[in-house]
Amino acid sequence: MDFVHLHVHSPFSFLDGGSEIRNLVKRAKEYGMSALALTDHNSLAGAVQFQKECEKEGLKAIHGAEVTLESGGHLVLLARGQEGYHNLSRLLTKAHLVNERLQPMVSIRSLWEYQEGLIALSGCRRGEVPSLLLKGKLKEAKEKAEIYRDIFGGRFYLEIQNLYIPGDVALNRKLKELGEETGIKLAGTNNVHYLDKEDFPVHDLLTCIRLGLTLEEVHQERRLNAENYLKSTAKMYEVLADYPEAIENTLAIADLCEPGLDMTKRYYPAYLYPKEYRSATAYLKELVYAGAKEKYGRISRTLRERIEHELFVIDRLKYSDYFLLVWDVVQHAKEKGIRYAGRGSAADSVIAYSLSITEVDAFKRGLLFERFISLERAESPDIDIDFDARYRDDVSAYVYVKYGERHVAAVATYHTFQARSALRELGKVLGFSAKEADILAKRVPYYLSDMGDLFNRVPEIKNMNLSSVKYKQLLYYAKKIIDLPRHLGTHLGGLVITNLPVTDLSPLQKSAKGVNVIGFDKRAVEDLGLLKLDLLSLRTMSAIEDSIKIIRDLDYEKIPLDDKETYKMLHAGETVGVFQLESAAQRALQSKLKADNFEDIVASLALIRPGPIQGNMVDPFIARRKGKEKISYLHPDLEPILKKTYGVVLFQEQVIEIASVIAGFTPGESDQLRRVMTHARSSRDMEEIGGVFLRKAQANGVSIQTAKEIFSYIAGYASYGFNEAHATAFAYTAYKTAYLLRHYPAEYYCSLLNHQPMGYYPVNTLCLLAKQRGIQVLPLDINESEIDFSVEKGNIRIGLKQLKGLREKEQQAISTTRSTGRYLSYKDFIERLGSRVCKDSLSNLVKVGAFDSLEENRRALLWQKPVADASPLEKWAYEIELTGIESQVSFMGLTRDRLKGFTLSTEVKRKIGKKIWLAGWPIRPHRPPTKSGKVVVFFSLQDEVGLAEVTMFTSSYEKYGQLIFGEHIPLGIYGEVFSRDGAISVNAEVVKDLRDLLTKE
């Protein structure tokens, strides 16, 4: 007895599939089924994952889709093999691209065009034939059936389902009669939307989200019962007992089908290298040596050996075309003057450096190529490049033009339900008001996956008095839907380039930005062997570019890496605005570490991450760096590897090198070892790996005792290690932006302000810190403000674009009109601009003081009559509301006289060991995961002169957490001032809401 489910939906039928692909496949296997089909709505997004899972379980994967026809009806299409799969993908592409976004429809003409290799089933009740039969339109149903019979020949089947819906009995009878009349065979399915009966509530909730309903509302699309689960063979025989021929035909269909994707192939395009070269590798070699000569001058024997080794691996793995492609893209960027920087493990490659893809000298740093690519791993290389955010799309457009639109597409990303979105959306379904659901969602820490314990663990939620059954249901089901795909999005920078037309492999859809997106995400793209380029936008690149333009006489590439003043600034933790070094944790680290060379910056980037923090690596590193702890090595061969990190294993490359040097693994084998250690789940796995390591180490002449110690040492650090190449690549940008900040603060901050949102801190904090450096932040002025923020005699002028609601056209109009002569008065402005600036914008300009230099009284201008001007507090309120910046006065400054006994943020460092009161606005509160699992909250408190760092431990968090993570309000913090190796912080014991104190008359 066998059965195959031919009509199955996964979560890639967004909000209509309740169970994951791997669980569906596993269950089919448990039932002893030989094959399974996947037929998501208008999509093949799950195809790669599905085929992979089927191969793992030894099941045959049958690819398909349930398509929506122009009539609105459904039709199930199954691919017989690769040709059928190609046709299905092309058909779906047409359906998506020809129609409005998110409303794909398949025409009869498309079915005729692409029917080869496809089998069609009449679908569920929403199929054209069944729905006509249900309406009693027998003649029309027959006509439709005959059309599909003509299109697909003997490959069209009438689908029998017994789902215990009213009318099913009669419908199935009519389908059988129709089949007899027309010679169309029957097939039996169960229209599967989830795994088990018990999963029905999840599916029903997803349906309600999709339809915008609450649970109490009735809708014809909500399933009446829980019968759409993956039934066992026995169960299917039971429900289709009256239609044995349907089961027989279903099995015959499954026999006809083969998987549609060749997962062993690679679909890389060939790079068109010049004819005089005999191969892509030959051309690549020429370019690499030319680049290396430029970078190194003289090519030493060891350098040559390194280059030849990398070329050998690249050639063996057939990646030469890929490197040439990437080189070509960065050449284009260089020619156009577009700033870029390669990142990630590509910086482990000397070839990437020689081709100017990255700026990290992997040879000089002794970085291991095998961390990037190795023969043993044989995975596709992944090169990420950050571009000036303004021009990233231009670079992308170049790729489309060069390789052809048919061969290039953006990679998808699947937005999945996370804790907050799950709570919000399910909250509405369960009948909570949008406000209640939003409040709950906002109070969930982003990393909290254990939803069930929210009541006890998160004080903000405890204080909401959540105890009703409804809230418990909300939390229970939110947990169930976390990680299910919600909708398709576009991967930020990923592009695939294929040798076949992309549409042979995946349907394309239009993204919200109008870009063609392939149906696969990054993981599926890699699994399928597609070439992917990551062309990323980085606003830091834009800010750097702008800074250089304003500064004019600075060669960014020649910034010295040993500037003492820059390091001095890092020691003081004054790094707000510095790439990757501006978070509170990084600033604290810089204060402790006292970096005085580039390697320290590389290490900083590797240290402030959950792994090393939880693994308690940070303090030992600092202690050894400062000579407070002795550095020792378990074996002399470890010294050259670990010297630069003071004996601490910090980088993945170090783990590889250690395994290589101690146990004689090839670098590729060592990298495999590292990966296995990182993902090892059980002590048995680790024992097995350990066994191999120990044997090899002993064979290499290392004593068993030493080998054991070394193994446990690297095993402990393997999962924490950071990619050194990536850290180095980022460190260049981090250091150089620190240099810019130190030496050209006005220009650099101005550029940062022009490229918001970016970085860690809000605009107002950046402005405050600029002021701390003696830079004035000049208010919006109708005669002085450019559209962007600008540098004005060493100060920063707020730009017109910062005014809320002032449209681009209005900004242009103001700026252009002024070029013919400054505005002499408010009246002059109105006369010259006329209706080009609307009333609201005009009013806002007055409110923020843009006319203050011409007419002092804002209120009189607004009301057009003699009245007293707005108070300083009112002016502050206007400015903060309409620009987000406190340029002249700050709230804390205005209310300071009510804060007797409160310490200013700049004075905190003089109060170490004392208990003080601080007042200010909490900035960027966050709860990073900790080793102990206890909650520690970090945030900055901003007053009128600076930032103070605050730490809040579990007991205070439980009492006051809702004040920190709730509304943005001014707070009073009471606690002791600590210095941890130079990093100063207040340990909050008491937190108070200061609104009443500061605003009551």
Partner 1 sequence: MKIICKQIEVKEKKFGYNRNMYEISEVLDSWRDIGAWWEDEEEKRFWRVSLHNDLTAEIFYIPNKKKWYLYRLW
- Does position 200 interact with partner 1 (CB under 8 A)? The reply is yes
- Does position 166 interact with partner 1 (CB under 8 A)? The reply is yes
β-partners of residue 986 are 950, 977
Burial 134-146 (b: 16+ CB within 10 A, else e): eeeeeeebbebbb
β-partners of residue 64 are 39, 78
Of 99, 107, 473, 678, which one interacts with partner 1 (CB under 8 A)?
Answer: 473
Of 204, 504, 521, 545, which one interacts with partner 1 (CB under 8 A)?
Answer: 204
> Nearest 10 degrees: CA dihedral of 610, 611, 617, 619?
0
Minimum distance of partner 1 from residue 469's CB (angstroms): 9
Minimum distance of partner 1 from residue 66's CB (angstroms): 23
Minimum distance of partner 1 from residue 105's CB (angstroms): 31
Minimum distance of partner 1 from residue 239's CB (angstroms): 11
Q: Which is nearer to partner 1, 168 or 348 (CB)?
A: 168
Give the residue among 798, 833, 827 at the shortest CA–CA distance from 815.
833
- Does position 227 interact with partner 1 (CB under 8 A)? The reply is yes
- d(Cα 664, Cα 700) in Å, to the nearest integer? 6
- d(Cα 169, Cα 173) in Å, to the nearest integer? 6
Q: Which is nearer to partner 1, 108 or 170 (CB)?
A: 170
- d(Cα 796, Cα 698) in Å, to the nearest integer? 65
Element (H, E) at 551: helix 539-551
233: tokens are 């063979």
- Does position 476 interact with partner 1 (CB under 8 A)? The reply is no
- d(Cα 590, Cα 727) in Å, to the nearest integer? 16
- d(Cα 325, Cα 385) in Å, to the nearest integer? 13
Of 97, 147, 151, 165, which one interacts with partner 1 (CB under 8 A)?
Answer: 165
Q: Which is nearer to partner 1, 169 or 234 (CB)?
A: 169
Q: Which is nearer to partner 1, 85 or 200 (CB)?
A: 200
Q: Which is nearer to partner 1, 430 or 543 (CB)?
A: 430
Minimum distance of partner 1 from residue 858's CB (angstroms): 55
Measured in degrees and rounded to the nearest 5, phi and psi for residue 738 equal -65, -40
Measured in degrees and rounded to the nearest 5, phi and psi for residue 282 equal -60, -45
Query: Which of these ranges, 168-176, 528-536, 897-905, 917-925, lies near partner 1 under the rule CB under 8 A?
Result: 168-176
Q: Which is nearer to partner 1, 214 or 616 (CB)?
A: 214
Q: Which is nearer to partner 1, 192 or 605 (CB)?
A: 192
Of 167, 452, 691, 805, which one interacts with partner 1 (CB under 8 A)?
Answer: 167
- d(Cα 741, Cα 629) in Å, to the nearest integer? 33
Overall size of the chain counted in residues: 1001
Minimum distance of partner 1 from residue 27's CB (angstroms): 21
Query: Which of these ranges, 127-135, 199-207, 402-410, 819-827, lies near partner 1 under the rule CB under 8 A?
Result: 199-207
Tell the burial category of 382 from Cβ atoms under 10 Å away from its Cβ (0-12, 13-18, 19+).
Answer: middle
531: tokens are 């070439």
- d(Cα 920, Cα 902) in Å, to the nearest integer? 10
Query: Which of these ranges, 38-46, 166-174, 378-386, 739-747, lies near partner 1 under the rule CB under 8 A?
Result: 166-174
- Does position 211 interact with partner 1 (CB under 8 A)? The reply is no
Q: What DSSP string runs through 89-141?
A: HHHHHHHHHHS-TT---B-HHHHHHH-TTEEEE--STTBHHHHHHHTT-HHHH
Minimum distance of partner 1 from residue 190's CB (angstroms): 14
Interhelix angle 564-571/724-743, rounded to 10 degrees, is: 100
Minimum distance of partner 1 from residue 724's CB (angstroms): 53
Give every CB contact of residue 317 below 8 A, 6+ residues apart in sequence: 373, 375, 378
Cis peptide before 485 (omega within 30 of 0): no
Tell the burial category of 673 from Cβ atoms under 10 Å away from its Cβ (0-12, 13-18, 19+).
Answer: buried
Give the residue among 220, 327, 341, 348 at the shortest CA–CA distance from 280.
327
Q: Are 809 and 800 in contact (CB under 8 A)?
A: no
Minimum distance of partner 1 from residue 184's CB (angstroms): 24
Give every CB contact of residue 440 below 8 A, 6+ residues apart in sequence: 423, 427, 432, 461, 464, 466, 471, 474
Give every CB contact of residue 545 below 8 A, 6+ residues apart in sequence: 339, 388
Q: Which is nearer to partner 1, 473 or 706 (CB)?
A: 473
Q: Which is nearer to partner 1, 167 or 872 (CB)?
A: 167
Q: Which is nearer to partner 1, 97 or 134 (CB)?
A: 134
Query: Which of these ranges, 222-230, 335-343, 690-698, 883-891, lies near partner 1 under the rule CB under 8 A?
Result: 222-230
Of 98, 102, 108, 224, which one interacts with partner 1 (CB under 8 A)?
Answer: 224
Q: Which residue has the tokens 């690149």?
A: 541
Residues in 683-722 at the binding interface with partner 1, rule: CB under 8 A: none
Q: Which is nearer to partner 1, 188 or 970 (CB)?
A: 188
Minimum distance of partner 1 from residue 164's CB (angstroms): 4
- Does position 472 interact with partner 1 (CB under 8 A)? The reply is no
Minimum distance of partner 1 from residue 479's CB (angstroms): 16
Minimum distance of partner 1 from residue 425's CB (angstroms): 16
Minimum distance of partner 1 from residue 152's CB (angstroms): 31
Minimum distance of partner 1 from residue 62's CB (angstroms): 28
Contacts with partner 1 by CB under 8 A: the residue count is 18
β-partners of residue 554 are none
Q: Which is nearer to partner 1, 208 or 613 (CB)?
A: 208
Query: Which of these ranges, 164-172, 251-259, 320-328, 331-339, lies near partner 1 under the rule CB under 8 A?
Result: 164-172
Q: Which is nearer to partner 1, 398 or 477 (CB)?
A: 477
Q: What DSSP string runs through 290-327?
A: HHHHHHHSS--HHHHHHHHHHHHHHHHTT-HHHHHHHH
Query: Which of these ranges, 80-88, 221-229, 671-679, 867-875, lies near partner 1 under the rule CB under 8 A?
Result: 221-229
Q: Which is nearer to partner 1, 120 or 426 (CB)?
A: 426
- Does position 388 interact with partner 1 (CB under 8 A)? The reply is no
Of 101, 112, 135, 225, which one interacts with partner 1 (CB under 8 A)?
Answer: 225
Minimum distance of partner 1 from residue 925's CB (angstroms): 35
Minimum distance of partner 1 from residue 165's CB (angstroms): 6
Of 201, 489, 615, 620, which one interacts with partner 1 (CB under 8 A)?
Answer: 201
Of 170, 256, 401, 990, which one interacts with partner 1 (CB under 8 A)?
Answer: 170
Q: Which is nearer to partner 1, 430 or 649 (CB)?
A: 430
Query: Which of these ranges, 138-146, 200-208, 778-786, 828-836, lies near partner 1 under the rule CB under 8 A?
Result: 200-208
Of 430, 601, 770, 952, which one interacts with partner 1 (CB under 8 A)?
Answer: 430
- Does position 169 interact with partner 1 (CB under 8 A)? The reply is yes
Q: Are 573 and 587 in contact (CB under 8 A)?
A: yes
- Does position 134 interact with partner 1 (CB under 8 A)? The reply is no
Of 54, 141, 226, 935, which one interacts with partner 1 (CB under 8 A)?
Answer: 226
Q: Which is nearer to partner 1, 162 or 604 (CB)?
A: 162
Q: Are 802 and 885 in contact (CB under 8 A)?
A: yes
Q: What DSSP string runs through 799-848?
A: PGGGSTT--HHHHHHHHHHHTTS---SHHHHHHHHGGGS-HHHHHHHHHT
Measured in degrees and rounded to the nearest 5, phi and psi for residue 277 equal -95, 140
Q: Are 498 and 505 in contact (CB under 8 A)?
A: yes
Binding footprint of partner 1 on the chain (CB under 8 A): 164-170, 200-201, 204, 215, 223-227, 430, 473
